[in-house]
Structure 1
Amino acid sequence: MKDHTGKPVYFDEEFREISLMLLKAKTRWQIDQLKQYADEAIIFIDEPILSALGSSSYLGVSETETARLLKELIDVIKNEGGISGIHCCGNADWPMAIKCGPDIINFDAYDYAGTLALYPEEFRGFLEKGGYLAWGIVPTSEAIAGENPESIRKRFEQGVEKLSLHIPKDLILSNIMLTPSCGTGTRTVEETIKVFQLLMRLKEEYA
Structure 2
Amino acid sequence: MEKIYKLPGNCMTTAMGILPHDQVEEAMKLALGVDIPFWPQLPHAGFYEDMYVQITDNFPGIRIDEGEQRILFDTAEFYRELDSYVENFDNDDYFRIQGRYSAVYRNFLENPGIKKYPLIRGQSIGPISFGLKITDENRKPIIYNDEIRFFLYEFMSRKINVQYREISEVNPNSFVWIDEPGLSFIFGSFTGYPAEKAGKDYRDFLSLIEGPKGIHLCGNPDWSFLLETLDLDILSVDIFSNGNIFVRYVDQIKAFLEKGGIISWGIVPTLTEEYVQESADTLISHLEGLWNYLDSRGISIETVVRQAWLAPARCCLVNLDGTATVTKAFDVLRRVSEYFKKKYNLE
TM over 0.5: yes
More helix by share: 1
Which runs of 5 or more residues in structure 1 are unaligned?
none
Q: 2:221 aligns with which of 67, 76, 92?
A: 92
Listed one character per residue, the Cα deviations across residues 28-70 of structure 1 (whole Å, up to 9, x for unaligned) are 1211221132213222221122222444642x12222222333
Whichever residue aligns with residue 340 of structure 2, its letter is Y
Q: 1:144 aligns with which of 272, 275, 294?
A: 275
Matched, 1:189 2:329: no
Q: 2:208 aligns with which of 76, 80, 87?
A: 76
RMSD, aligned CA: 1.8
Which runs of 5 or more residues in structure 2 are unaligned?
1-133, 342-347
Q: CA deviation at 1:180?
A: 1.1
Q: CA deviation at 1:206?
A: 1.6
Whichever residue aligns with residue 100 of structure 1, its letter is L
Distance, in Å, in 2 between the alignment partners of 1:26 and 1:73 is 12
Q: Which residue of 2 aligns with 1:120?
A: 250
Instruction: Say if 2:187 and 2:198, in contact at 8 Å, map to a contact too.
Output: no
Q: Which residue of 1 aligns with 2:310?
A: 178
Instruction: Say if 2:239 and 2:246, in contact at 8 Å, map to a contact too.
Output: no
Listed one character per residue, the Cα deviations across residues 102-131 of structure 1 (whole Å, up to 9, x for unaligned) are 101111110111112332111101100101
Matched, 1:153 2:153: no
Instruction: Say if 1:114 and 1:162, in contact at 8 Å, map to a contact too.
Output: no
Identity of aligned residues (%): 26
Q: Which residue of 1 aligns with 2:144?
A: 11
Whichever residue aligns with residue 85 of structure 1, its letter is G
Q: CA deviation at 1:146?
A: 2.4
Q: CA deviation at 1:71?
A: 2.1
How many aligned positions are there?
Answer: 203
Q: Which residue of 1 aligns with 2:263?
A: 133
Q: 1:183 to 1:42 in 2, by over 3 A?
A: farther
Whichever residue aligns with residue 240 of structure 2, its letter is Y
Higher relative contact order (CA 8 A, sep 6+): 2
Q: 1:29 to 1:100 in 2, by over 3 A?
A: same
Distance, in Å, in 1 between the alignment partners of 2:197 and 2:178 is 16
Q: 1:185 to 1:84 in 2, by over 3 A?
A: farther
Whichever residue aligns with residue 65 of structure 1, its letter is K
Instruction: Say if 2:189 and 2:195, in contact at 8 Å, map to a contact too.
Output: no
In the superposition, the TM-score normalised over structure 2's length comes to 0.55
